[in-house]
Amino acid sequence: MWMRVLRWGAVLGLLPLLHAAAPPPSDWVPMRWPWSDPASLELLSGTPINCLLLKTVLPDFVQAAAARGVVTLAVLAPDGDVAGAARRAMAAKVTGIVIEGDLPEGAATVREAAGGAPVIELTARSRMPLGSNAPILGTYQGVWPGIAVEADGAKKAAPTGSVWIDTNTGFIRAVRAWGGATLWMANQPPPKTVVTGARYLEVVADAAISGARWVLALDDDFTARLARREPKTMADWKRIADLLRYFEQHPEWRHMQEYGKLAIVQDPAKGGLLSGGILDMIAVRHTPVRPIPRQHLTPEALAGATMAVNVDADALTPEQKEVLRDFTRSGGMLLTGPPGWKDQSPQGDKITLDKAELERLNDIWRDVNSMVGRRNMGVRLFNVSSMLSNLLAAADGKTAVVHLVNYADYPVENVAAHFPAEYKRATLTTPEGVEKSLEVYPTEEGGGVDIDKVLVCATIKLEQ
Amino acid sequence: MIGAAPLLTAAPGPEPPAAPVSIARCASYDEDVTARLATLFNQLGGIDGLVRNKTVTVKLNMTGSPGIRFQGQAPGLTHYTHPKLVGATAYLLGRAGARRIRFVESPWATAGPLEDVMLDSGWNVRSLQSAAAGVEFENTNALGKSKAYSRFKAPGNPYMFPAYDLNHAYEDTDVFVSLAKLKNHDICGVTLSLKNCFGNAPASIYGDDAGVDEPNEKPTSGREAVLHNGKRQPSRSAPPELHPGSSREPGYRVPRIVADLVAARPIHLAIIDGVESIAGGEGPWIKRIRMVKPGVLMAGLNPVSTDAVATAVMGYSPRAVRGTAPFRTCDNTLLLAEAHGIGTTDLRRIEVRGLPIEEALYRYDT
């Protein structure tokens, strides 16, 4: 009996250390931490945030964070003696370094100064090392997600006749199609803007439904109110934490791949890195789509697809053209961009299409729209005009999830999803804690489910 | 002069018919909408005799893309007929013995199944289907489930077109119901049971991308070029305008086309959803609109009389002429329909049952 008590006592004694074990980079849930006071860390209680990006590195704070098992990363600008700054930060015992901006000469000297500690580069989209073995890819460039509003306050109409939603999802999908690295979206709230709690939820979900993480960054006003522990701000903070936890509790979603019977063949280093492009246009129509990097175009990548869009036909190698020819010979429908069309690349600070390019892309979009028609390309969603969605499938194909994010200020009621007959069971989960089986009813496409209400986010799990 | 034209033509004819109109208070869609609607029908003498063993076609109001919303609200709370009222209508028609209940609409820019548009509007199609036996849906923007269009000749002296080619659903029916919303309209001042029938015209023939010779069975646009502005004629398969030299102004054209359409395809029962709606225009694309809650339902067996009462409930004179609210830049559709002999706008001749106009009054112009 005493032996058992001693054994348990030993285990309990180790608990603080066990708790303090740092998670691997792929599990880091990052936030730009605006405070240096160790007492501020109390705000992390009950949240899944375990990685703090620090502009100011104080040893006491770093030590207090480490004691909680929280990773600290020093954020360095790419000017001046970056290697020296990295050495000083490492001396304060931070876990690693974040270089925010583009180092013309590369990060080798910083890596050397970090002495094997993780060095994460938040670069321009055009400088992201796609295909590298970096554990985390990140960019400081992103659109601020939400329903686009024109100067006069009216909602901006899209070619679809529905509202246009600014989103990073197309970009994230294109990058993720290239490889399995963890992707951080590190764009910050628009300056001189008070951001509501609901908008933060949209930004978190916009990244998470496509498998990325938004590096949580609070605007100055929210930061001040949170520091004062104002009740409404604390409630918003809890909702943000709940939403982060919702996605972190389902790591399997991050390992699923975009699924759809429509494939977009595009060079992610070009048009795929822009927002507002063909992937986002298709996303607004809720057509499930799988991006295939031109460089990864193989018969296997097209398996299961019935339609494909080749955005930049001139960029394909003869072998890649042959893959698409085989696809059409076997019954697939192929839509090719207009002759002479060149997929635009992001340049400098520009991460969205200019008006002329957008109009040209609209032509492709209309053709895609016409080609898809009412066909069910994986799932058809109804009453989702203020939402974006993403259909992801597990590697074995037996399970799929449909993520929904609502960008409107109001909940959306009566959403319907129609899907192929192979899925027999459906479960709804939401960040509010809902987890319930949905009645699957027959539809002309196979099955369908109804969802009563979507606040900010909901996920339908489909199982064969 | 243009505004006076309908009155001049109306004067010599016999008095147009009048029919009772009932009004009921219904403060919200959470109330028992079916019971309120049943009361309206009872006050009209019941609908059994009208619909028993009949095919009943119900024209809904689902104007504009379901994706375009006002302040994120469900379209039924703003500019569409509310699905609960649609369900209540189906149930009561079924209970009254209707053999087939066909809901129709020519929704924005699509010839796809109407059920898809309903789902996109947040309607529960399965509930509607189970509200009564024999419920069907048809998108009347194109041929739909038929192989030919039906030609509806406008009787007497039509204003704009001698006849209109419409989806078969408007012909293959014994009873035609206009289920409208109590709204203003940017062009026509008000949009009620008469104006609702502007949507009878298929975009395949009267749409901006209608075929030149034959209908375009996959229309993807509205009807501005042909009907609103007269910039082009409908597909040659349908009769062209009677007076191509007449005004191209929408405020002249649309009210006349509506009056012609209702004369050609008469309405047997008008139901107007004024529970929750918008004022200032017909949809979210009109920038000055605002949400309103008149909290009323109305029904009548004559659409002109019903619209006259509804216009009065909105705080306007149903006999107001062009230049007067709500017909500030248009001719009065009600007077044009009255001049066709469809029904009277004279409130002195219309018996209002249930809630009096004075008690139902909800001024749309503030």
Per-residue confidence (pLDDT) for residue A13, from 0 to 100: 41
What is the tally of structural domains in chain B?
Answer: 1
A65 contact partners, CB below 8 Å, separation of at least 6:
A38, A41, A52, A71, A72
Residue A434 CB burial class (10 angstroms; 0-12, 13-18, ≥19): middle
Nearest to A161 among B68, B74, B122 (CB): B68
Taken in order A63, A69, A70, A72, the sign of the CA dihedral is positive
CB contact under 8 A, A161 and B65: yes
Q: Which helix (H) or strand (E) holds B206?
A: helix B203-206
Q: Give the number of domains in chain A.
A: 3
> Which residues 6+ apart lie within 8 Å of B228 measured at CB?
B187, B250, B253, B254
Final residue in a domain of this structure, among A372, A398, A432: A372
Answer whether residue A160 shows pLDDT above 50.
Answer: no
Q: What does the DSSP assignment read for A367-400?
A: HHHHHHTT--SS-EEES-TTEEEEEEE-TTSSEE
In chain A, the residue whose alpha carbon lies closest to the alpha carbon of B110 is A373
Measured CA to CA in angstroms, residue A463 lies from A213, A377, A394, A401, B258 at distances of 26, 17, 10, 9, 51
For residues A293 and A363, membership in a common domain is answered with yes
Helix (H, G, I), strand (E, B) or coil at A33: coil
Contact B67 A162 (CB under 8 A): yes
A81 and A158 part of one domain: yes
What is the rounded CA–CA span in Å between residue A106 and residue B292? 61
The span from the CA of B342 to the CA of B331, in Å, is 17
The residue with greater pLDDT, B68 or A35, is A35
Residue A439 amino acid letter: E
The last residue of a domain, from among A332, A356, A372: A372
Domain containing A365 equals: 257-372
Q: Is A227 found in the same domain as A146?
A: yes
Rounded Cα–Cα distance for residues B332 and B61 (Å):
20
- Average pLDDT of the segment spanning A332-346: 78
**Per-residue pLDDT, B183:** 98
Quick count: other Cβ atoms within 10 Å of Cβ A306? 16
User: Could you report the per-residue pLDDT of A254-290, keeping only the tens digit for each?
Assistant: 999 999 999 999 886 777 788 888 888 888 889 999 9
CB contact under 8 A, A414 and B122: yes
The answer on A269 and A197 residing in a single domain is no
Chain-chain contact of A161 with B67 (C-beta, under 8 angstroms): yes
A-chain residue closest to B222, CA distance: A161
Indicate the pLDDT class of residue A155, thresholds 50, 70 and 90: very low
The answer on pLDDT for B343 being more than 80 is yes
Instruction: Give the residue on A whose Cα is nearest the Cα of B76.
Output: A413
Phi, psi of A145 (to 5 degrees): -65, 150
How much of chain A exceeds pLDDT 70, in percent? 91
Torsion of CA A442, B83, B228, B3, to 10 degrees: 160
Whole-complex ipTM: 0.90
* Chain A partners within 8 Å of B73 (Cβ): 410
Is A117 found in the same domain as A195? yes
Average pLDDT for chain B: 95
- pLDDT at position A144: 94
User: Is residue A247 assigned to a domain?
Assistant: yes
Print the domain residue range for B264: 5-12+33-357
**B363 inside domain:** no
Contact A413 B69 (CB under 8 A): no
Q: What mean pLDDT value characterizes chain A?
A: 89
- A180 occurs within a structural domain: yes
Smallest Cβ–Cβ distance between B119 and the set A160, A382, A413 belongs to A382
pLDDT at res. A162: 63
Residue A385 at interface with chain B, using a CB cutoff of 8 Å: yes
CB nearest A414 (choices: B67, B124, B287): B124
In a domain, A334, yes or no: yes
Q: Which of A39-43, A202-206, B1-5 has the lowest mean pLDDT?
A: B1-5
Does the beta-carbon distance from A414 to B123 stay under 8 Å?
Answer: yes
Phi, psi at B171, each rounded to 5°: -100, -40
Q: How confident is the model at residue A361 (pLDDT cuts 50, 70, 90)?
A: confident
Which pLDDT value is given to residue A149? Answer: 66
Report chain B residues whose CB lies below 8 A from the CB of A363: none
Contact map slice: B 261-320 vs A, CB within 8 A: 284, 287
> What average pLDDT score do residues B59-71 get?
93
B113-123 confidence digits (pLDDT tens): 999 999 999 99
B329, B286 Cβ separation under 8 angstroms: no
Label residue A161 by pLDDT band (50, 70, 90): low
Interface contact A154, partner B, CB < 8 A: yes
Residue A231 confidence (pLDDT)? 98
Q: Which structure tokens are listed for B113?
A: 């199944």
CA B266, B267, B269 angle in degrees (round to 5)?
Answer: 155
Q: Is residue A405 part of a domain?
A: yes
- pLDDT, one tens digit per residue, over A111-136 is 999 999 999 999 999 899 888 888 89
Which of A330, A349, A372 is the last residue in one of the domains? A372
AA identity, residue B57: T
One domain, residues A248 and A266: no
- In sequence order, what are the residues at sequence separation of 6 or more whose Cβ sits closer than 8 angstroms to the Cβ of residue A113? A83, A84, A86, A87, A90, A97
A224 and A282 both lie in a single domain:
no
Q: In terms of domains, do A133 and A169 share one?
A: yes
Q: DSSP string covering B185-197, please?
A: ETTTEEESTTGGG
Q: Specify whether A162 is located in the same domain as A74.
A: yes
A150 and A203 housed in the same domain: yes
> What CATH number should be reported for the domain holding residue A281?
3.40.50.360
- The whole-angstrom distance between B114's CA and the closest CA on chain A is 12
Q: Looking at residues B199-228, what average pLDDT do you find? A: 95
Cα nearest neighbour of B124 on chain A: A414
A90 pLDDT band, cuts 50/70/90, is very high
Q: What residues in B contact A415, CB-CB < 8 Å?
A: 122
Least reliable range by pLDDT among A199-213, A312-326, A428-442: A312-326
Of B112, B121, B126, the CB nearest to A374: B112
Say if residue A443 is in the same domain as residue A351: no
Q: What is the CA radius of gyration of chain A?
A: 23
User: Phi and psi for A396 in degrees, rounded to 5?
Assistant: -80, -5
Tell me, what CATH number does A443's domain have?
A: 2.60.40.1180
What pLDDT does residue A188 have?
Answer: 96
pLDDT: is A191 or A218 the higher one?
A: A218
Residue A442's DSSP bridge partners are: A447
Q: pLDDT, tens digit, for every residue of B135-162?
A: 999 999 999 999 999 999 999 999 999 9
pLDDT over 90 at B292, yes or no: yes
> Does residue A235 fall inside a structural domain?
yes
Q: Please return the burial class of A39, using the count of CB atoms within 10 Å of its CB with bins 0-12, 13-18 and 19+.
A: exposed
Q: Decide the pairing of beta strands B189-191 and B183-185.
A: antiparallel
Nearest to B66 among A152, A385, A409 (CB): A385
User: What is the reported pLDDT for A355?
Assistant: 74
Greater model confidence, A18 or B186: B186
Residue numbers in B near A382 (CB within 8 A):
116, 119-120
For the cut 80, the answer to whether the pLDDT of residue B318 exceeds it is yes
Tell me the nearest-neighbour CA distance from B271 into chain A, angstroms.
25
pLDDT value of residue A402: 98
Query: Nearest CA of chain B to the CA of A305: how many Å?
Result: 24
Residue B344 has pLDDT above 70, yes or no: yes
Do A65 and A196 share a domain, yes or no?
yes
- Measured over the CA atoms of residue B305, residue B311, residue B315 and residue B317, the dihedral's sign is negative
The reply to whether B71 touches chain A by the CB within 8 Å rule is yes
Q: Residues 90 to 149 of B: which have CB under 8 A from any A CB?
A: 108-109, 112-113, 116, 119-124, 126
Chain A residues touching B123 at Cβ < 8 A:
414
Q: Does residue B276 fall inside a structural domain?
A: yes
In 3D space, the residue among B126, B168, B137, B134 whose CA is nearest the CA of residue B150 turns out to be B168
